[in-house]
Structure formats: C-alpha cells, structure tokens
Amino acid sequence: MSEKFLNSHYEKLVGSENDMDYMELETRLHDCIYSDNGTLITDPEVILEKVYREVGASKYKKYELKKTPEDLELIALVKNTVIEYAKQYGKDEFVNITDEHIHLLKEGSLEKISGGRLLQGSHSSFFGEVKIDRRSDIETAITTFHELWHRLASYNALQITKEGMLQNYRTGLHIFSRQNAEDKLLGPVDEALTGYMTKRFFNEVIQNDEMFKEELELLNESGKTVDTSRQKEVKRFLEFVDLIFSKDESRFTNKKEIIDIFIKAQVTGNILPFVRLIDSTFGKGATRKLANFLN
C-alpha cells in the first residue's frame, strides 16, 4: 500500500491543497481548521486528523448511550469479523475506528437527528465514525456490521474538490466524481455488496455465537424473518451476477468468482479487474451503465 496510508481514518486524499477554500471550511468545520494557539492550519491532513479526533469521537449529547460491557463485546465481535472477512478479499491495512468512534444511540435517534433521512445506521468517511440505533442484540449487530463494512472494510478516500471543499471521493464502489462531487456512481452496487457481506455475517456468526442464542430461539419461535439489510439490492445484484455468468460460462468455474471480483474492488480500491469484467461482458464503457441497471 502507498505511503499515503498514514492517515487516521481514510486511506487516501486526492486533489491539491492549493485549491483549499478556508472560508468555506470554517463555516463547516469551525475550530477544526485552527491550531490550539489560534493559527490557521493549512495542511488538509492535519485538519482531517483534528476532525476525526474532536468531532468523530465526541458524544451525541442527547442521544448517545453509555456502552455496557455487553455492548463492547458485541462491537468487538463485529469489528473482528469485518477485519477477518476483508482480509480474505485482499485488504491488509485498516484505518483506526476506535470504540469512541462507534456511537450507540437510543432507539429512534437517527431518524430524529437526520430529519427522517436515516433509519437505523449511518457512517461517515469524513468524521471516521458510525452511528447505530441500539435495538436488540441481533438487530444492532447486523447494523453495526453493515456500517463497519462501509467504514472499515471498504476502501475510503477523500478529496479536495475543485471548489476547495474536503469531501468524499470513494467509499467502496461508491465513487464520487472529481468534477462534481454530487455525481455518484455505483452506490447501489456498493450497498448490495455490503448487504451481501452482512448476510454472510448473519449466517456464519450470529447464527452460531452464544451471544445471540436466546434471541434467535425467540425469533425462530415467532416465525419472524430477520432483515439482514439491503435485501432488495442483494437480490438484484445476484441476478446481475447470474447474467454475467450466463453470458460466457467458460470464463468462470462458479458465480462466487464473479462476486469476489466485485468485493475485492470494494475493499482494496483497485477497481480495474471489476471494470474489465463489466466492459468485457457488456462492451466498452458499460460500467457507467451498470449503475442504471441496478437502480
């Protein structure tokens, strides 16, 4: 991995520091652009480090729950599994998301904080944090896995935009353009892959760990199904994998090989094999069309 990988909570920063717009940054980041003695910080990486330490780790006053030993155990189990799975797809270094950057909130908080936009979980590459509504152990573990897969397993890069703002550049296959940061590509694919991995976590870990035994028994008795997140996107994605497989069955031994190409791109940030797969299956430039297909 490149030397750039020294950053606290993101893997790469692209763009030129000469483009930084400090007036705009001050509106958004307030004190984070000033050092303790009041001088302006001009190094974007130092600003981001400060944002991560002072904002990402600070408590959500009205909403945050104090983590119990059980909560910490649950978080550790999820975090270790995220790292173990991501290693299987070729990721070898991980950013630092501490327990302070994992916020457990009272049920219903995220909906209130976001004005109805978010439901049970969210993650921020910029602040290096995840926010999760604390519900039952199984529900909380599922959402924590999903958000940490975005934040910890997926490749996270930030950018200094042409307008001088610090913003997202890549979160897994969620790719933002350099020209227009609002122009996003492959977001639904990224969600599908995250839902796919979360389902694997449910099947392999939740189904077998003592921590969830009692709740699972109650669930099974009630006949309720478990939402392993983004199920609609996962279904659509697997249909898409079927389509790639059926186009030329001699290229792959099984469908898992195709899925692995997608997930490797998501976690390592090396999207070339993935782009090659799509373009060679559907024609040059097809990757851009993929977003529409899966939407």
Q: End-to-end alpha-carbon separation of the chain, Å?
A: 33
59: left (phi > 0), else alpha (psi -120 to 50), else beta?
A: beta
- Residue partners of 290: CB distance under 8 A and separation at least 6: 186, 189, 240, 278, 282
Q: Which is nearer to Zn ion, 50 or 146 (CB)?
A: 146
Strands 12-14 and 121-124: unpaired
CB count, 10 Å around CB of 25? 20
Show Cβ contacts of residue 15 under 8 Å, excluding neighbours closer than 6 positions: 159, 160, 161, 162, 178
Per the CB < 8 A criterion, the answer to whether 258 and 241 are in contact is yes
| Min dist. Cβ of residue 91 to Zn ion (A) | 18
At its nearest, how many Å lie between Zn ion and the CB of residue 122? 8
Count interface residues toward Zn ion (CB under 5 A). 2
Taking the complex as a whole, the smallest distance from the CB of residue 230 to Zn ion amounts, in Å, to 6
Residue 146 beta carbon to Zn ion: minimum distance, rounded to whole angstroms: 6
Shorter beta-carbon distance to Zn ion: residue 49 or 191: 191
Do the Cβ atoms of 286 and 276 come closer than 8 Å? no
What's the DSSP call for residue 153? I
Comparison of 119 and 218: residue with beta carbon closer to Zn ion: 119
Query: Rule CB under 5 A: which of 184-203 touch Zn ion?
Result: 191, 194
Closest separation in Å from C-beta 234 to Zn ion: 11
Stretch 89-128: interaction string toward Zn ion, x if CB under 5 A: ----------------------------------------
Q: Which is nearer to Zn ion, 20 or 130 (CB)?
A: 130
Q: How many angstroms separate the CA atoms of 191 and 291, rounded?
A: 12
- Please state the closest distance from residue 194 (CB atom) to Zn ion, in A: 5
Quickly count: other Cβ atoms within 10 Å of residue 111's Cβ: 14
CB nearer to Zn ion: give 33 or 144. 144
CB 259 to Zn ion: min, Å: 17
DSSP state of 116: T
Give the residue with the Cβ less far from Zn ion, 149 or 212.
Answer: 149
Give whichever of 50 and 79 is closer to Zn ion, judged by the CB atom.
79
Quick one: DSSP state of residue 12?
A: E
Contacts (CB under 5 A) with Zn ion, residues 42-81: none
Rounded distance between C-alpha atoms, residue 244 and residue 201, angstroms: 25
Beta carbon of residue 118, minimum distance to Zn ion (angstroms, whole number): 10
Compute the distance between CA of residue 230 and CA of residue 279 in angstroms, rounded to an integer.
Answer: 26
Q: Give the phi and the psi of residue 151 in degrees, each rounded to 5.
A: -90, -35
Cβ nearer to Zn ion, comparing 47 with 127: 127
Q: Which residues contact Zn ion (rule: CB under 5 A)?
A: 191, 194
